[in-house]
Structure 1
């Protein structure tokens, strides 16, 4: 369906792709993965509208290929007075009206031949999207996504997560040859994420999805395209199998790379000896020996192991506090209520200690973000924050926490940094090179903006963090780095998240919003609840064991203990079979 061959493309300050090649065949469900800012969304844009871009290489695609698209940034139109059913049915109703109009025109027009041609085109288009059964098909998709009860609701009343699923359904029912989705999982609650999984798995045509969601990656795709360090690697198979293959390759290549380094070091030592001898003895044979050894060194350097998918840049995230305090009550909420058109939360009571790591969970639209913002503002009589607690806030709406018209440099001057060098050193640790400091924040990817937010939050050195969907847009490596940073953080954290893995790996307990109130839930009970609704037995435990083994492999590689790394990778292979 799509063939990309030796495609290269650069921004003014950044190379995105260096002769990348991959194919996408009919009926494949392909996950497009890679580090934040590596150029995944740009490559999608090139596929959708190649005429806009000046790139080297070839992009081959059937000119009749119809592409459907779901953006990562779509928002509900609160002014649209139309039901969910009518919104999904728009293209069908439009074609029906067009066919009816042409039929009416035929009764009075002399140009029947032209009208017949238009009639046939409209009829073909209606048939291409299975128009005769569109009502039944809409009902089936809504049922599959557990949204049947929303059929007659107004579009403007939907939560962001519900609307995202409705968009996916609408695109699927338009029956394109290829559907492209850019992070469709962002901000979806547990139920909606499961519905998205069902929709993807039920779709019989080709899908290309940018995602960092570990649940979707493990359950939805039979092809992986991985963009890293300007190069692409493709893998036919499941993500967990790809990850194992990548790890096994890493063990093998790092062992070879170490042997290369040792050989280069030995050769360099010989060159130093020959140079020293040549300085006090100008014998021609010594000169020839030195030249020969230098040529060997050049060859060794040229053939040094280079592995863009092994040398993946691990992001730096470090959450620190200046004001570490003894365990005390950091936050107390008593009889808190909030209502807009209807009551969201009523008589809510809870407290958080100064070292607690807490996940605030609940379905889309129940008031989680509203509560987090109220805590940050700290001007509600039901909310009391300890006087020794300083609070920092990470927003799911990046434009609230970052001035996107600022450059990165200006943003950190505004935060309180005083010199260019101070900013360059600080943000450099987070992966922002000096040559992009004058780049506007609006030009960054969603993941890069979130990393920038995390850098700002850490720079505040607050001892309580309020984090609204902190893993949104983050690549998997960044998610894991954030998990480690939260584990090491010495203050309190209250975070909204819909990521099972993240919650299980980071939270001490859960505050669960249900029936307009909040109840405290142990991690053991949370796991049981998640199992009952979403997972096979022991799934999360196996995932946790898998993560532990992967960590131990990384430690073994750091110690250059390749034998232990290989043994652990065999253990990992057995765990993956259980998944």
Structure 2
């Protein structure tokens, strides 16, 4: 159990936590949320011992093994595989000791260390590291590349793999999906659901939080408040609490006015003196309840384009890629106003290549591009944040585009993106990644585009800005093509999907759940067709052969329990769906919404949410068990 008791934490003059209390039990998966800059990462540093509280007590279990994802990685010559294996210090310690014992021909010590290595599952460590790398989007050949050869985003993925490799009781993850695509995000989500220890997760991806955590810790006004449930349930509970708080505040204000009026009228009357004094004391000790309000400064939109074309843009028999390498063949695409398209496909399949081709950053290898007379593209990609003038302010960025616009008009516009007051005049170099992303979004919105091409626009954006972006895209009247690992954004802003895979672009007729199943099947096919890598061609040692036989025996033993578990899950799913149907029938009755039945309605809504969550989790478990069963059967038959 982890406990923070009356913790206060200051960074310079900034108060991050004041008398904050939080208890996290063993095995809990907790989402840590709050606006950017309120102290979430500092709380991680407190748990890691890198910061110390100014006041209060932090209780951690003895011998607690903590794994965390570093935000930076130095350029090292170590291979990606070795770097990931370094995440397990116990394994490295035994390996080094074993090498020393073998050099000294200490047979007794060698036997002891081999036993210890087996306890640590050391014989399968390399295989597990390969699986982590594959899950996070690395190819088999990447494993032997030097860390320094990877870009910054891919190095962060290596840090994540190293953290997952670490043998731990508590896993601290700070924005783990920021540099992942949708495929890797889904894989990570499934991995974390199987993790046996405790997790504290900082994320602004609501679907990711919904599918991983069972509690939410909300850092707000220097306090930590714990909610049971995932992020969607937190939203409902928080809204209800704010509504109750507002009602309590209004009721309290009325009571205060009554007391003050009584005191004024009867203070001088001896017969009422005691009553007046008691009410004065009541007024003094009454806790002032802060008025509930939604204080998000983000409420932006994409301004209407002055003119529009039909169609806006199109590709015909297009080959996309580079002169020496064609990535996409025979692409045919027509974009009409109102088109809302999400791009799906494995990492490296060509989603970004297609968007760069549409925006003109990459020329067609062959084929035709048609552009409407009034086409105006708004393009968002991460490299555009780097292209911002670091010395210029948000206001100056827009002023350069529209010299005739008044400062007040620009200030009002920037205010909807959260740049209030003097923030609009600050140089961009002082901004965080999230603030720079808001500047880029503001520049796009100001230019009145009629075609939005957006490649991972939510990286570095917090939940409030993501919500505002979702609403803005919903009301955008032009065409939209979106690549994102944020499934909530995809579900709520696009109405069709294109699948970019195997060198072609085709219509994907399913939803995101269907895409997740497609991914699983696609990976299975790739693994079955993949040539055996060199490391598997070498002769196995006696210990490795023994381990291989043990694993095969274990697989056979697992078949029967898996089948029984599938039957249980099917029965549970039928039960949840039956109960959910009953609850939804009750909710369809108009009478349930009468004031006199508020409590009954609240209970039914909670039951509905619980049953939906249980049904979804059970279905996920069924799919995972079914997949595991099929893979085991294939391995045993193969």
The bucket for the TM-score relative to the shorter chain is: 0.7 to 0.9
- Segment drifting more, 450-459 vs 511-520: 450-459
- Assess if the C-alpha contact under 8 Å between 1:229 and 1:312 holds in 2: no
State the match for 1:48 in structure 2. Answer: 48
Q: Deviations over 1:252-285 (max 9, x none)?
A: 33332343355456778x59xx99x99xxx9999
Identify the residue that residue 20 of structure 2 maps to in structure 1: 20
Q: Does the CA contact (< 8 Å) of 1:321 and 1:490 recur in 2?
A: no
On the 8 A contact 1:37/1:447 being kept in 2, the answer is: no
Cα deviation code 1:342-370 (max 9, x no counterpart): 54222322121123222222222222223
- Is 1:571–2:605 an aligned residue pair? yes
Structure 1 residue 466, shift from structure 2 partner: 1.9
Check the 8 A contact 1:180/1:208 in 2, yes or no.
yes
Aligned to 2:214: 222
Residues 1:475 and 2:475 aligned together = no
Q: 2:388 aligns with which of 402, 420, 430?
A: 402
Rounded Cα–Cα distance in structure 1 between residues aligned with 2:182 and 2:206: 13
User: Are positions 1:389 and 2:381 aligned together?
Assistant: no
Q: For structure 2, which runs of at least 5 residues remain unmatched after alignment?
A: 522-568, 585-594, 614-638
Q: Does 1:171 align with 2:163?
A: yes
Match of 1:180 in 2: 172
Alpha-carbon distance in 2 for matches of 1:449, 1:28: 34
Following superposition of structure 1 onto structure 2, how do residues 456-535 of structure 1 map, counting pairs within 5 Å? 456-522=443-509, 528-530=514-516
Q: What do residues 15-74 of structure 1 show as CA deviations (whole Å, max 9, x unaligned)? A: 4333322234443322212233333223223433434x6744444446864432214566
Q: Does 1:452 align with 2:439?
A: yes
CA–CA distance in structure 2, aligned partners of residues 187 and 460 of structure 1: 28
Corresponding residue for residue 99 of structure 1? 97
User: Normalising to structure 2: TM-score of the pair?
Assistant: 0.68
Change (3 A) 1:332 1:483: same
User: Match for residue 208 of structure 1?
Assistant: 200
- Partner SS state of residue 312, structure 2: strand
8 Å Cα contact 1:264/1:297 also seen in 2? no
1:149–1:313 Cα change, 3 Å: closer
Segment drifting more, 202-211 vs 170-179? 170-179
Structure 2 matches for 1:37-116, cutoff 5 A? 37-51=37-51, 55-61=54-60, 65-71=64-70, 82=79, 84-90=80-86, 95=93, 98-99=96-97, 102-103=100-101
CA spacing shift, 1:361–1:568, aligned 2, 3 Å: farther
Deviations 1:177-204 (A, max 9, x none): 4321111122433432222122212222
In the alignment, is the contact (CA less than 8 A) between 2:71 and 2:159 conserved in 1? Answer: no
| 1:329 corresponds to | 311
Question: Partner residue of 1:34?
Answer: 34
CA contact (8 A) 2:5 2:19 kept: yes
CA–CA separation in structure 2 for the residues paired with 1:43 and 1:398: 31
CA distance in 2 between counterparts of 1:263 and 1:144 reads: 60
Correspondence for 2:333 = 350
User: How far off is 1:143 after superposition?
Assistant: 4.5
Shift of residue 210, structure 1, vs aligned partner: 0.8
SS of 2:121 mapped into structure 1: helix
Say if 1:138 and 1:204 are closer, same or farther in 2 by CA, change over 3 A.
farther
Q: Where does residue 289 of structure 2 map in the other structure? A: 304
Which has the higher mean CA deviation after the structures are superposed, 64-73 or 508-517?
64-73
Q: Deviations over 1:412-456 (max 9, x none)?
A: 555657776555543333333436556564554444443333233
Give the SS at the match of 2:251. Answer: helix
Displacement, 1:166? 5.2
Structure 2 vs 1, CA of residues 426 and 179 (structure 1 numbering), >3 Å: closer, same or farther? Answer: same
Q: Distance in 2 between matches of 1:420 and 1:131?
A: 68
Following TM superposition, by how much is the alpha carbon of 1:214 offset from its aligned partner in structure 2, in angstroms? 2.7
**Over residues 235-259 of structure 1, what are the superposed CA-to-partner deviations in whole Å (9 max), with x where a residue is unaligned?**
3554454444334333433332343
Q: Given the alignment, which residue of 103, 115, 122 partners 1:134?
A: 122
Could you tell me how far apart the structure 2 residues matched to 1:376 and 1:185 are?
A: 26
Task: Calculate the aligned-residue CA RMSD, in Å.
Answer: 4.8
Give the whole-Å Cα distance in 1 for the aligned partners of 2:177 and 2:282. 50
CA distance in 2, matches of 1:135, 1:575: 44
- In the alignment, which residue of structure 1 is the partner of 2:631? none
Aligned length: 534
CA separation of 1:26 and 1:261: change in aligned 2, threshold 3 A:
same
Cα distance in structure 1, aligned partners of 2:170 and 2:443: 39
- Distance in 2 of aligned mates of 1:256 and 1:520: 53
Residues 315-366 of structure 1, C-alpha deviations (whole Å, 9 max, x = no match) = 5232233524356111212313204885422232212112322222222222
Answer with 143-152 or 163-172: which moved more.
Answer: 143-152
Of stretches 214-223 and 140-149 in structure 1, the one that deviates more from structure 2 is: 140-149
